[in-house]
């Protein structure tokens, strides 16, 4: 089963490295696709985005904001299955069902950046089959733990797990002043480490998460509640719960 990876960024390269199959990369940036193929130990090639060639498996690994468009453009090239690694699940699966209704369709979301793998991967299986089962085996063989979830449950959870968590960390980074290291407390050090990790990433990824799942408004409202609290203990107890 040959594989077309649409998107030659970090996630696309990560998946291609795990796939035990011939791989072709397609990307809006031809040079990025070529670099991904070259780094793939000679087992990969590139194809133009508008190529009409078909593949056993089509894997969509693009930013969430263009996931639906990428699926609409490329899912029909799948002979057996189409999967995505975009980070959301409901919208991609709906698009897959529209464009490739007769194909196996599964959404995967690595709950980590590729450089921090292996780890947990959320999986929503709309119409699984032999081809997507092979994908699961590739991911598990690399040491990842697969967690099956309904697409709506996944997307609802990401509003807190990603959207609000990232917004809270970035808000701390924006509000913090430089302080002497010798005065740092454990809580401050933990938050500083998180802020460093988040701000060392790709701003576009975090922007897409805020656009898809929200988070900043809820964190701002919570901070305002703290700032305006007449009974701080009551707010503290709400946070504890």
Residue 37's CATH number: 3.40.50.720
Name the helix (H) or strand (E) containing 102. Answer: none
Predicted confidence band of residue 214 (pLDDT cuts 50, 70, 90): very high
90 and 11 inside one domain: yes
CA-nearest of 130, 2, 122, 113 to 55 is 2
Q: What per-residue confidence (pLDDT) applies to 201? A: 85
3-state secondary structure 106-158: EEEEECCCHHHCCCEEEEEEEECCHHHHHHHHHHHHCCCEEEECCHHHHHHHH
pLDDT in tens, 13-50: 999 999 999 999 999 999 999 999 999 877 789 999 99
- Domain shared by 80 and 191, yes or no: no
Cα gap 62→196, rounded to integer Å: 25
Return the sign of the alpha-carbon dihedral for residues 203, 198, 161, 154: positive
Query: Are the CB atoms for 3 and 24 separated by under 8 Å?
Result: yes
Query: Which residue, 149, 170, 200, sits at the end of a domain?
Result: 149
Are residue 32 and residue 128 in the same domain, yes or no? Answer: yes
Task: Give yes or no for a cis peptide into 188 (omega within 30° of 0).
Answer: no
pLDDT tens figures, 49-96:
998 999 999 999 999 999 999 999 999 999 999 999 999 999 999 999
Q: Are residues 78 and 143 in the same domain?
A: yes
The gap from C-alpha 68 to its chain's centroid, in whole angstroms, comes to 14
Structure tokens at 41: 């130990």
Q: What percent of the chain has pLDDT over 90?
A: 93
Domain boundary among 134, 149, 164: 149
Name the percent of the chain lying above pLDDT 70. Answer: 100
User: Based on the domain organization, do 119 and 60 belong to the same domain?
Assistant: yes
The predicted pLDDT at position 31 comes to 95
- Where does a domain end: 131, 149, 167? 149
What's the distance, CA 21 to chain centroid? Answer: 22
pLDDT digits 0-9 by tens, 185-210: 999 999 999 999 999 988 999 999 99
The model carries a pTM of 0.92
Predicted pLDDT at 218: 96
Q: Does the pLDDT of residue 144 top 90, yes or no?
A: yes
**96 and 167 belong to one structural domain:** no
């Amino acid at each position: 089963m040959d594989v077309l990876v649409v998107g030659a960024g970090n996630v696309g390269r990560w998946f291609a490295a795990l796939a035990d199959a011939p791989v072709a990369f397609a990307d809006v940036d031809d040079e990025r696709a070529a670099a991904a193929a070259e780094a793939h130990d000679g087992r990969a090639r590139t194809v133009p985005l508008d190529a009409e060639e078909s593949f056993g498996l089509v894997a969509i690994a693009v930013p969430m904001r263009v996931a639906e468009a990428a699926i609409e453009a490329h899912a029909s090239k799948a002979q057996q299955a189409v999967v995505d690694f975009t980070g959301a699940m409901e919208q991609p699966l709906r698009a897959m069902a529209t464009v490739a209704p007769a194909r196996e369709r599964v959404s995967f979301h690595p709950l980590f950046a590729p450089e921090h793998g292996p780890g947990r991967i959320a999986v929503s299986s709309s119409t699984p089959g032999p081809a997507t089962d092979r994908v699961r085996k590739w991911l598990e063989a690399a040491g990842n733990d697969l967690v099956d979830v309904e697409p709506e449950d996944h997307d609802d959870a990401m509003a807190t797990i990603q959207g609000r968590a990232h917004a809270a960390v970035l808000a701390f980074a924006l509000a913090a002043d430089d302080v002497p290291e010798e005065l740092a407390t454990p809580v401050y050090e933990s938050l500083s480490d998180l802020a460093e990790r988040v701000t060392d990433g790709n701003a576009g990824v975090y922007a897409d998460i805020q656009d898809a799942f929200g988070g900043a408004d809820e964190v701002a409202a919570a901070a305002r509640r703290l700032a305006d609290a007449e009974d701080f203990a009551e707010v503290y107890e709400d946070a504890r719960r």
